[in-house]
């Protein structure tokens, strides 16, 4: 199998498993798991933020953040492609009783002018109160696109001026940091809360972290408990996270190179209408209208190549450490051989 469905399919490599096996653990509900404590401290320091809390998933870290930032009946501004809006099971409504104002924008990115135009009048009792802006970096459905810091600054100044919180769904922020040569502290200084995932390109089996101020994370721990996400000897999982932060960030550039190689092949295929610009490890492309999508998918599947059909004609490849450069050559050859 050459599994290009998602970087969430990565399995822990032998050295990560060794680190997990050697972890010192304790009961984290009592704050006594030394490995979780070390991971939370390490991540917070890396981003220059006060505190962090370890959670089972990126969905949970996003949902906890939204819950801490908002009150029921308020409004959250996010991109129409965003994970928090499309792929978290309606969690914003279910967990926090808020409504969403989804906005369009290039490649899954919000633009400051459309955020400003979407703000509700705080003096109008008919309107929900605009409370939080959520950005996603890199964008998933937007094809792995990255924000420029200046684009974030323009949105942040609106949030600061109007008293809105700014949350980052940084499930794949690591890919953006490597691709754009940015620092974690560039983000820690700009956002009120950040969710980062360890279980995508970094290759951990489980785990995400929510970062914020001491007060924000203290409240987040209460919400994590209510959501059933407070774990016991989860230091075995945190050990994988520490290993990944130390060893798996720089190598993400290899995944980006693999995605670019795939894009070059797709661009020269008579089957393909459009290939979106590759910035990181996600590649979105469309087939020509006269080509049969079922035939395309079957041809890849017959060679053991898996990918995702995102609907509306969009196909997605995601590269990661469990797909080698040789695997990529094989995919290129299969696409090149399509009649």
CB 167 within 8 A of CB 26: no
Q: CA torsion sign, 67 to 71 to 73 to 79?
A: negative
Q: Which of 10, 63, 96, 199 binds ligand PLP (CB under 6 A)?
A: 199
Q: Extract the tokens encoding 258.
A: 């693999």
Region 65-104 residues binding ligand PLP, contact defined as CB under 6 A: 83
| Residue 281 engages ligand PLP in binding (rule: CB under 6 A) | no
Q: How far is CA 327 from the centre of its chain?
A: 24
Please tell me the distance from the alpha carbon of residue 18 to that of residue 244, in angstroms, as a whole number: 12
Kindly write out the interface string for residues 111-140 of this chain, putting x where it contacts ligand PLP by CB under 6 A and - elsewhere. Answer: -------------------------x---x
Judged by CB under 6 A, the number of residues near ligand PLP is: 13
For position 8 contacting ligand PLP by CB under 6 A, the verdict is yes
The answer to whether 307 touches 298, Cβ cutoff 8 Å, is no
CA distance 190 to 69: 16
Q: How far apart are CA 183 and CA 185, in angstroms?
A: 5
What is the closest distance, in whole angstroms, from the C-beta atom of residue 264 to ligand PLP in the complex?
25
Q: What's the Rg (C-alpha) of the chain?
A: 20
In the numeric block, which tokens belong to residue 227? 């959501």
327's enclosing H/E stretch is: helix 325-337
Q: Taking a C-beta distance cutoff of 8 angstroms, is the pair 175, 255 a contact?
A: yes
Rule CB under 6 A: is residue 35 a binding residue for ligand PLP?
A: no
203 forms part of the interface with ligand PLP (CB under 6 A): no
Selected binder of ligand PLP within 57, 114, 129, 253 (CB under 6 A): 57
Taking the C-alpha atoms of residue 228 and residue 56, their distance in angstroms, rounded to an integer, is 10
Residues from 138 through 177 that contact ligand PLP (CB under 6 A): 140, 169, 171
Stretches 54-62, 184-192, 236-244, 284-292: which one binds ligand PLP (CB under 6 A)?
54-62
Name which of 105 and 119 has its Cβ closer to ligand PLP.
105
CB-closest chain residue to ligand PLP = 58
Q: Measured between alpha carbons, how far is 19 from 161 in angstroms, rounded to an integer? A: 45
Exactly one of 20, 145, 197, 278 binds ligand PLP (CB under 6 A); that residue is: 197
Decide: is 261 part of the binding site for ligand PLP (CB under 6 A).
no
Q: Is 58 in the site for ligand PLP (CB under 6 A)?
A: yes
The region of 38-46, 56-64, 66-74, 113-121 touching ligand PLP under the rule CB under 6 A is 56-64
Distance in Å, CB of 313 to ligand PLP, minimum: 20
Give me the half-sphere count of Cα atoms (radius 13 Å) on the Cβ side of residue 258.
25
* Part of the chain binding ligand PLP (CB under 6 A), chosen from 51-59, 155-163, 252-260, 276-284: 51-59
> What would the two tokens of residue 93 be?
């409504």
Residues forming the site for ligand PLP (CB under 6 A): 8, 57-59, 62, 83, 136, 140, 169, 171, 197, 199, 208
């Amino acid at each position: 199998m050459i599994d290009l469905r998602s970087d969430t399919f990565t399995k822990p490599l032998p050295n990560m498993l060794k680190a997990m096996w050697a972890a010192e653990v304790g009961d984290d509900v009592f704050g006594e798991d030394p490995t979780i404590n070390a991971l939370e401290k390490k991540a917070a320091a890396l981003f220059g933020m006060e505190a962090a809390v370890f959670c089972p998933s990126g969905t949970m870290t996003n949902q906890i953040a939204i819950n801490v930032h908002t009150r029921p009946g308020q409004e959250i501004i996010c991109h129409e492609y965003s994970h928090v809006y499309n792929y978290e099971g309606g969690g914003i409504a279910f967990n926090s009783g808020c409504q969403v104002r989804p906005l369009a924008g290039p490649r899954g990115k919000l633009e400051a002018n459309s955020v400003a135009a979407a703000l509700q009048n705080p003096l109008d009792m008919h309107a929900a109160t605009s409370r939080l802006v959520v950005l996603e970096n890199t964008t998933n459905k937007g094809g792995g696109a990255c924000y420029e810091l200046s684009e974030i600054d323009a949105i942040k100044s609106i949030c600061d001026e109007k008293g809105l919180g700014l949350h980052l769904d940084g499930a794949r922020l690591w890919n953006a940091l490597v691709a754009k040569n940015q620092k974690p502290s560039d983000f820690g200084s700009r956002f009120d809360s950040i969710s980062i995932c360890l279980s995508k390109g970094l290759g951990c089996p489980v785990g995400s972290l929510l970062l914020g101020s001491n007060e924000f994370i203290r409240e987040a721990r209460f919400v994590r408990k209510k959501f059933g996400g407070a774990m016991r000897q989860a230091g075995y999982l945190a050990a994988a996270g520490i290993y990944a932060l130390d060893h798996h960030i720089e190598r993400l550039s290899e995944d980006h190179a693999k995605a670019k190689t795939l894009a070059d092949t797709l661009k020269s295929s008579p089957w393909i209408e459009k290939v979106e610009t590759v910035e990181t490890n996600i590649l979105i492309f469309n087939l020509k209208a006269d080509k049969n999508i079922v035939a395309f998918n079957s041809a890849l599947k017959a060679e053991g190549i898996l990918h995702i059909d995102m609907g509306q004609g969009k196909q997605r490849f995601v590269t990661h450490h469990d797909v080698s450069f040789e695997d990529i050559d094989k995919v290129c050859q299969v696409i090149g051989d399509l009649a």
